[in-house]
Structure 1
């Protein structure tokens, strides 16, 4: 099975939202689309969390060198 990419999952999620907002799907198809949307949203959220953990800042030191530091949001 191929590894799904964030961009692919996001596009699928956008398509599901568009279908659901259209209001033309029968109830059963709407439920299936909703379930798929939840699955894609969870995948995207997981990938974003993983990416956030990998982000590092390069901070310039007094001696001109750079040091890596983990990126932290102010509210953490």
Structure 2
């Protein structure tokens, strides 16, 4: 990410959602290309962050911690 790199996963995801909405409307070709390129960089950023978190969770699991089940059986 060159300019305006996101500060967090949530910020990147929010920007991706904004770009998606903008691209669904009328947009000049050059702007659409720039939005697509920015979106692609944001997707790579988000995938990298998710992979890092997954790796940390695997390390924690290997240390004896178990996966948290947020779904209630009640």
Structure 2 length-normalised TM: 0.71
Task: Tell me: CA distance 1:42–1:70, structure 2 relative to 1, closer, same or farther (3 Å).
Answer: farther
Equivalent residues in 2 for 1:36-75, closer than 5 Å = 36-55=38-57, 56-57=60-61, 68=64
Following TM superposition, the consecutive aligned residue runs of length 4 or more in structure 1 with deviations greater than 3 angstroms are none
Q: Which has the higher helix share?
A: 2
Gaps of 5+ in 2: 68-74
Q: How many residues align?
A: 62
* Greater RCO (CA < 8 Å, at least 6 residues apart): 2
Q: For residue 74 of structure 1, what is the aligned residue in structure 2?
A: none
Q: Which has the higher strand share?
A: 1
Q: For residue 8 of structure 1, what is the aligned residue in structure 2?
A: 11
Residues in 2 aligned to 1:29 and 1:18: alpha-carbon distance in whole angstroms: 13
The Cα RMSD (Å) is 2.7
Residues in 2 aligned to 1:12 and 1:47: alpha-carbon distance in whole angstroms: 15
Task: Tell me: CA distance 1:49–1:70, structure 2 relative to 1, closer, same or farther (3 Å).
Answer: farther
